[in-house]
Amino acid sequence: MKVLLPFPQNPSSQELVNQGNALGDHEAEGIKSRQHSKKWRYVSILFFVNLINYMDRFTVAGILENIKDEYDIADAKAGALQTAFVITYMIFAPLFGYLGDRHSRRLIMAIGVFIWAIFTLIGSFMPGYYSFLFCRGMVGIEERSKMLAVFFFAIPVGCGSGYMLGSEMSHLTGDWRWGLRVTPILGFAAVVMILFMLKDPNRGECEGHGNEIKTTTYFQDLKDLAANKSFVLSTFGFTCVAFCTGALSWWGPLYIISAIKSFGNPEHYPMPVNNVALVFGAITMLSGIVGVPLGSILSTKLQRKFPRADPIICGLGLVISAIFFRLWNANSEAIQILISHTFGDAGSPYFIGLISDSLKGHYADSGSYCDSFHIVSVSNSTTNTHQCQETIEYFSLQHSLLSNCVVQAIGGILFFVCAIYLLRDRRNCQRIIDGECESWMSDDKEILFIQLLAPWRVNSFQL
């Protein structure tokens, strides 16, 4: 029998081996460093895209009063500018979602950003309301082409920057249209970065499955999503969030301007009207800078001990914000009119504008608000008439925004119910990714019963 003896090591050969190992470790470290920097570059580009997206969207809100004066439109038509965007988004979202799951997300995103930039720029030259409305609607094509990642932090920063940009550009140039001509330039720069600096990652790479994810039919995708109760509930909960944030962000600056103008004499204004969008934008940015990391930290800290922490945090946030939204001076007649409108119509900015227009007519006919502030709107003076109109504008917007309290409460409840199904649906999703099953599994009634009656025992069922 032949015995293989180890080759004797000498100092020279040992040194070569050590150098080779050191070289390999150094090369591996360099590759890891390059991959890390590449990921940060990708995230930075996506952050920039999301930033200018929200800048553009809320630039219009910052100059909404100028747009209303330019096109001589009421609140309902002013709200329709944002509703047109949402409707277009709803139409194109499934299409871009389907294409994004099956084709190059980089190219789809570049096309979407390019279309958005073009129509934003064209919209700034539109002489009529309906042509401007069409261009704002086409901006919604870009929305679904974004990748969901940490760039959510860009939302509050972009919103605040949009208010500031629109207001300051309008003030500096004397023309509100210039507020819409800055973000398209940034958008074209974003298209170049997307095309030449981004690369499509493999689908499923984040979960460690590379190219193993199988493509399914669109019908099967919809069927699986509909069976995912936590997805459905969180989607409706987020819809409530979008309703409230959409209404507040769109009408917020104009509402504050109306409140200031209701003082009558400009010498009595608590702050200059031109500074409203600037201050509102700064508050929006500050709340996002504090709120986004706070929510992330709470989620991370509580996840280990409370696996259902995410939807519960969202639900509590909505319920608490609804409490702070309470209007102390809303009378019973205003609430009665408000509720009748709330359950008879739908849509956020357009919906709020429609209610506001309706309340204006009611308050103007009754004259109660002008009388309560000792303002005579009929004959005393032009100044008094103008002050009365501004007071009615202020209270009509205030009472119409009260509908957000109802929507916030509904959204909070939906997120709380979502917490019941979250762990089970997460388990099913992981099974599909791991290839253990091809479609969504049916409900496990025993586990669901335990979740409802004794959620503290859920860990023993390996959810």
Residues with Cβ within 8 Å of 270's Cβ and at least 6 positions away in sequence, in order, are: 260, 263
Question: Could you tell me if residue 67 is inside a domain?
Answer: yes
Nearest one of 61, 276, 100, 318 to 203, comparing CA atoms: 100
Question: Could you tell me if residue 237 is inside a domain?
Answer: no
pLDDT at residue 459 in the model: 46
Position 370 confidence tier, pLDDT thresholds 50, 70, 90: low
Residues with Cβ within 8 Å of 56's Cβ and at least 6 positions away in sequence, in order, are: 116, 120, 139, 162, 180, 183, 184, 187
Pick 25 or 160 by higher pLDDT: 160
pLDDT at residue 152 in the model: 62
SS3 content of the chain, % helix, strand, coil (to 5): 80, 0, 20
Supply φ then ψ for residue 204, to 5 degrees: 85, 0
Instruction: State pLDDT tens for residues 180-230.
Output: 888 888 889 988 888 888 877 666 555 555 555 566 676 777 777 778 888
| CATH code of residue 53 | 1.20.1250.20
Instruction: State pLDDT tens for residues 412-433.
Output: 899 999 999 888 888 887 777 6
pLDDT at residue 215 in the model: 63
Q: Is the pLDDT of residue 147 over 80?
A: no
Instruction: State pLDDT tens for residues 3-13.
Output: 444 445 555 55
Question: Could you tell me if residue 136 is inside a domain?
Answer: yes
Q: How far apart are CA 73 and CA 259, in angstroms?
A: 20
Q: What is the mean pLDDT of residues 98-118?
A: 80
Question: Could you tell me if residue 369 is inside a domain?
Answer: no
CA angle 115, 116, 118 (to 5 degrees): 65
Q: Is the pLDDT of residue 452 over 70?
A: no
Question: Could you tell me if residue 148 is inside a domain?
Answer: yes
pLDDT at residue 424 in the model: 86
Q: What is the mean pLDDT of residues 372-391?
A: 56
What count of Cα atoms within 13 Å lies in the side-chain half-sphere of residue 76?
8
Question: What's the number of domains the chain is made of?
Answer: 1
Burial of 211: CB neighbours in 10 Å, binned 0-12, 13-18, 19+: exposed
Taking a C-beta distance cutoff of 8 angstroms, is the pair 384, 376 a contact?
yes
pLDDT at residue 183 in the model: 86
Q: Which domain holds residue 188?
A: 40-200
Most confident stretch, 74-88, 204-218, 431-445: 74-88
* Listed range (55-59, 70-74, 316-320, 356-360) with the worst mean pLDDT: 356-360
Question: Could you tell me if residue 132 is inside a domain?
Answer: yes
pLDDT at residue 386 in the model: 64
Position 17 confidence tier, pLDDT thresholds 50, 70, 90: low
Pick 179 or 2 by higher pLDDT: 179
Taking a C-beta distance cutoff of 8 angstroms, is the pair 243, 79 a contact?
no
pLDDT at residue 417 in the model: 92
Residues with Cβ within 8 Å of 184's Cβ and at least 6 positions away in sequence, in order, are: 56, 117, 118, 120, 121
* Listed range (283-297, 343-357, 412-426) with the worst mean pLDDT: 343-357
pLDDT at residue 416 in the model: 92
Pick 436 or 213 by higher pLDDT: 436
Question: Could you tell me if residue 323 is inside a domain?
Answer: no
Residues with Cβ within 8 Å of 446's Cβ and at least 6 positions away in sequence, in order, are: none
Instruction: State pLDDT tens for residues 165-194.
Output: 887 888 888 888 888 888 888 889 988 888
pLDDT at residue 343 in the model: 40
pLDDT at residue 300 in the model: 79
What count of Cα atoms within 13 Å lies in the side-chain half-sphere of residue 128?
3
Q: Distance of alpha carbon 369 from its chain centroid, rounded?
A: 36
Q: How far apart are CA 170 and CA 321, in angstroms?
A: 32
Q: Is the pLDDT of residue 259 over 70?
A: yes
pLDDT at residue 346 in the model: 40
Q: Is the pLDDT of residue 352 over 50?
A: yes
What count of Cα atoms within 13 Å lies in the side-chain half-sphere of residue 180?
25
Amino acid symbol at 356: S
Question: Could you tell me if residue 107 is inside a domain?
Answer: yes
